[in-house]
Amino acid sequence: MTGAGDRTRVGLSVDVDSVASHLEGYGHRRGEDDGSAYREAVPRALEMFGRSGVRATFFLIAREARRHPETVARIVAEGHEVGSHSMTHRLPFRELDDETLQVEVAGSRAALEALAGEEVRGFRAPSWDVDPALLARVAAAGYRYDASTYPSILLPLLRASIARRGSREAAPSRRSTWGALRGSPRIHLRRAEAQRITEVPMCTTPVLRLPYYHTLRFVAPDPVFRLVRLLAHARRGPVWYQFHAVDFQALRADRLDPRIACHPGMGLGLERKLELAAEAVVTLARRGRVAPLRELVDPAPGQGGQSLAPAWEGALHG
C-alpha cells in the first residue's frame, strides 16, 4: 500500500553510458571511452537539474567513473545519488561468466562507494539485461534496489531496432526478452533466492505499458510522446523518468564518433536537445518533488510517505 502523499513523489535517473558503450551495443568493436559523458553531458545535466531544483540518480560505469573522480564528487556534493551501471557495461551482460559478473556487480559497487564516499544502493544492468540469477547476485552484493527491468512489449522491439541500426547483430542477450512482460510495472519487492530486493522497473503507462523515458522522445512522433507522458502522469502513485548521458550531447557540437549518429536524437543540434531535456525536467517538477530513485524506495526521515515496496510480490518471474 502507498500513502496519499506518494502521488507527489517523482523519481529521476541518468544512465551515464559512454559513446564507446553505446557503439558496442550497436555491434561495433568496443573502443576507449572518450570522456565526453563526464566532461560535457554530466555537467550539463547537473546545471539543468540545479536550476530546476531537482535531484537524480546517476548510474555510473565504474571503470569509466574512476577516471573522473571530480565529477563523481560533484554529483554527490549537489545532493544526487550514485548508482552502479556495472563495472564495464559489457554485452551481452547476463551471459558473462560467474567470475566476471561478480566483478561487474559487486566489484562495481565497491569501486563506486570508494569514489562517492557513500553507500551505493541501486544497480541497473546494461541494456536492461537481467534475469532471476543476476537479480540474486545483485541482492547478494548488498544493493537495496535494482532498476533493470523493462516490463513493456517495446523491449524486444527496441532490441530488434538496435540490431537493425547496428553494424552486425547487436545482441544484448540471446535469451528471450518477452518474459519482461510478466514483470510487475510497480515498484515492488522481489524474491531473489534467499534474498529480497526492491525492483524499480522502467516507468510505463497503465494498461498498455508504453515506456515513459527520454529515448521515446526521439523515436515517437510528438503527439504520441505527449500522450504517453499524459498517461504516465495519470497513473496512481509516483512517476519516474530516465535520461541517458547522450541526451545532453550532440554529434557535431561535441565532436563525437560519427558512428553514434544512428542513436536516437543524434540528428538534433545541442540547443534543441537541451531544450527537450529541460522541458522534460520542468514537466516532472510540476508533478511533485523530484528526487533520486533511492528516495522512492526508502524515503528519508521527515520526507513523508512510506516505502513503496512493502507489499510482497511473490517469487521472481523469469
- In tens, the pLDDT along 101-122 reads 999 999 999 999 999 999 999 9
Percentage above 70 pLDDT, the chain:
82
Give the residue numbers spanning the domain of 13: 4-297
Mean pLDDT in residue range 266-292: 97
Residue 310 included in any domain: no
Over residues 66-89, the mean pLDDT reads: 98
What is the per-residue pLDDT for 3? 40
- CA pair distance 59, 78, nearest whole angstrom: 15
**Are the C-beta atoms of 292 and 81 separated by less than 8 Å?**
yes
Going by C-alpha positions, the residue among 156, 190, 187 that lies closest to residue 173 is 156
pLDDT of residue 318: 31
pLDDT of 316 > 50? The answer is no
* pLDDT value of residue 181: 61
In this predicted structure, the answer to whether residue 301 has a pLDDT above a threshold of 80 is: no
Residue 142 lies in a domain: yes
Banded pLDDT at 1 (limits 50, 70, 90): very low
Instruction: State the pLDDT at residue 42.
Output: 98
Q: Is residue 315 part of a domain?
A: no
The answer as to whether 305 is a domain residue is no
Distances in Å between the Cα of 58 and the Cα atoms of 38, 80, 316 are 11, 7, 26
Answer whether residue 178 shows pLDDT above 90. Answer: no
Hey, what amino acid is at 253? Answer: A
3-class state of residue 15 by DSSP:
strand
Task: Report if residue 201 sits inside a domain.
Answer: yes
Q: Where are the alpha helices (DSSP H) in 26-131?
A: 36, 42-52, 62-65, 69-77, 98-102, 108-116
Residue with cell 561487474: 104
* 304: its cell numbers: 513523508
The reported pLDDT for the residue numbered 312 is: 33
In the chain, the number of structural domains is: 1
> What CATH number is associated with residue 104?
3.20.20.370
Q: What is the mean pLDDT of residues 265-291?
A: 97
Is 308 part of a structural domain of the chain? no
Query: By C-alpha distance, which of 9, 47, 19, 46 is closest to 187?
Result: 9
In a domain, 140, yes or no: yes
**247 alpha carbon, distance to own chain's centre:** 13
Asked whether residue 312 is assigned to any structural domain, the reply reads no
Is the model's pLDDT at 137 over the cut of 80? Answer: yes
Residues 6+ apart with CB under 8 A from 262: 26, 165, 166
Look-up of cell digits 543476476: 134
Element containing residue 160 per DSSP (H, E): helix 154-165
- Average pLDDT of the segment spanning 131-147: 96
